Chain A
Amino acid sequence: MNTVVTRLLRRNRAGRLGVLIVAAIMLIAEFGPLLAPYGPLSPDYPAARQAPTLGHLGGTDDFGRDILSRTLYGARISLGVGFAGVLLGLIPGVAAGLTAGYYSGGIDAFVMRVVDVMLAFPGILLAIAMVAILGAGIQNVVIAIGIFGFPVYTRIVRGSTLQATGQTYVEAAHAEGARPWRILMQHILPNIFAPIIVISSLQIANAILTEAALSFLGLGAPPPTPEWGAILSGAENDLVTSPYMAVLPGAALVITILGFNLLGDGLRDALDPRMRV
């Protein structure tokens, strides 16, 4: 593991940038509320629609709320949704992928058909449908993102499991009469850890993007939540007259996604450059 970190931080410029960005965003998510000069929800009508000034570095929105403060608070929501959404899809995805890859045969065929069906179903549509059924709200966005990610993890974990199952040490464990559960946990899971880490990092970027798109379509976090996609959506009509309203949340969104993509890429290079994820 040490060598991985060394490789990630020392040798890979892009990976290093990714680590830096992700660390910074995590710090903002944790301490953003302390840094924010104003409350994210407190209106100040006389100060509405102000271009950036020293008092409001990012300007104010149509309620006079400080855009910088809203963007800082937004980090926690975006990261939270990103992590939670990925975890929600990852756990069943790994379970299904391991099972399918290890047992093959009927179970495998069934799982892979389900995965095919889900992949054939347009992803954003699935998310729109989930939110329409469950109602708008952050937890429903998390569920939608989880379901959305499930087939992706399943497919990758299954592929890696198939590979690992063919290795001599697994066959040796079989010969020793080890139970399937032990083999999966002790021998296979550690060996497919690398692709899981990489795909998770990349999927967090994806999840944050999906979340923003849903909020943008009016299906995400309910108002007045300071979620980045929702702030952007609120600023959409003001884009012509007050473009500054979109600058901070837009930049935060792009930089965060970029950070996780760089991190995922860097991790892949550090763990196994030949990995196809």
Chain B
Amino acid sequence: MRGYLAYRVMSAIPTVLGVTIFVFMFVHLLPGDPARLMAGLGATDDSVQLVRHSLGLDKPLWTQYSIYIRGVLQGDLGISNRDATAVSVHLAQAFIPTAELTVAGIAVAMLVGLTAGIVAANAHNTPWDVALTSGAMLGISLPSFVLAFILIWVFAVTLRMFPTGGDEGAFAIVLPAVTLGVGAAATIARITRSEMLGVTSQDYIRAAHAKGHAPLAVILRHALPNTLIPVLTVIGLQFGFLISGAIIVETVFSWHGLGRLLVDAIGFRDYPVIQGVVLLFALEFIAVNILTDVLYAWVDPRIRYQG
């Protein structure tokens, strides 16, 4: 087990390195001149040149990259062009709201998705099944910005059940988390339903039913554990998607997380902050993938190596 984990972590290193090169190239390909934006409108060419020099942007790209990567290896992500604060401070400040949002989002997704999937499977071919399956399909097809507006107007403005967003109080997370989680919930519901259907036709489940166990107990104790592997994989994948899906949801709900930080940093061509956020996104994504695979291997010891 430990060997497998080590293998996975080791094999992620080139990916992370690739991400740093990719993001570095990407920020330097963006049109727009950070020195000009920082020097301010109306600055002379000379002072723009001075700013460019002080940011180190006049060095060859390769030198800039090697300075950057050396810093990253020592845990130094650089200084924001915009306000001279360490990138790590910005990341730390924005990470918690995003983490709250994604965790809440995946909680919604799992709660709703697993429940709906189990109910649909056990009510196979009844109106319940049809309603839930169609609902799931709709959930996948609904763009998050459309859903967000429906939710804001129904629940925040008309019914006044929840705040509109931001973080006024603990309930403020409800609407953004639901918006973020609905797509994943639908995907989880579908895979849970189809896996459950596959399992419930197996002999041992029929046997459990025949022995007179309570139906709910059969589902939770016998059927559910056997659907765990594929469901787990999908949850892991969806969690990864949620991390990047947060960008749009954060914009619509004014949630001050990494997504907003990134969008603002792109507008200002704040290279160090863009690089920092993307690197963090990528690390999260990779970590979630590894965690999923490790859990996978832990649940089913036959799986060790998935090349």
Contacts and interface: CB of A to CB of B under 8 A. Distances in A.
A159 to B, nearest CB: 10
B264 to A, nearest CB: 12
B31 A250 contact: no
- Specify the main secondary structure of chain B where it touches its partner: helix
A77 to B, nearest CB: 16
Contact of B262 (A14, A125, A209, A276): A125
Interface string B28-42: 011100000000000
B137 interface: yes
Given A113-B15, A116-B18, A121 B31 contact: no
Contacts of A129: 26, 29-30, 266
A143 B285 CA distance: 24
B30 A132 contact: yes
Given A117-B18, A133-B30, A254 B23 contact: no
B174 to A, nearest CB: 20
A213 B183 CA distance: 15
A258 B139 CA distance: 9
A267 interface: no
Contacts, number: 101
Contact of A121 (B23, B137, B144, B245): B23
Contacts of A124: 244-245, 247-248
B244 A253 contact: no
Given A128-B266, A239-B149, A258-B137, A121 B248 contact: no
Nearest to B134: A14
Contacts of A213: 143-145, 248
A246 B278 CA distance: 33
B285 A262 contact: no
A71 to B, nearest CB: 14
Nearest to B23: A121
A246 to B, nearest CB: 8
Which residue of B19, B141, B281 has the most chain A CB atoms within 10 A of its CB atom? B141
Given A121-B281, A124-B247, A212-B143, 20 more contacts: A14-B134, A113-B15, A117-B19, A120-B281, A121-B19, A122-B244, A122-B247, A124-B244, A125-B262, A129-B26, A129-B30, A132-B30, A132-B31, A132-B266, A213-B143, A213-B144, A239-B153, A250-B146, A261-B137, A265-B137
The 3 closest A-B pairs by CB, nearest first: A122-B244, A117-B18, A120-B282
